[in-house]
Amino acid sequence: MSGVSGSDTCPNCGAEMDTYLDSKPFENVSGECYGCGFFYYTVAEQMCLEGLNEGRKERGLKPLKKLPKVSKLMKHYIKKEAS
């Protein structure tokens, strides 16, 4: 973890909330309020093959037969955020 911890005013209850910002390996932000329980975080996911190909079509890219592999590092983030 090489991010920056900070604090911000909770948009829900106005209490001070803990925030966290990391820019590697992608922009990743989160915050949690212990005044009311509001929290947010960046979600990391991989599209399903169908959704990916739909987007590729719109961008003039050839459809893929198989979902590209996700690196070990990124798997760690996807698992962490999805669970």
* Least Å from the CB of residue 13 to Zn ion: 3
Locus of tokens 């190909």:
53
Q: In the complex with Zn ion, which residue's Cβ is closer, 35 or 51?
A: 35
Shortest Cβ distance from residue 16 to Zn ion (Å)?
Answer: 9
Contacts of 3 (CB under 8 A, 6+ apart): 20, 21, 22, 23, 28
Which residues of the shown chain bind Zn ion in the complex (CB under 5 A)?
Answer: 10, 12-13, 15, 33, 35-36, 38
Tell me how far, at minimum, the Cβ of 37 lies from Zn ion, in Å: 7
Closest CA to 14 of 31, 36, 29: 36
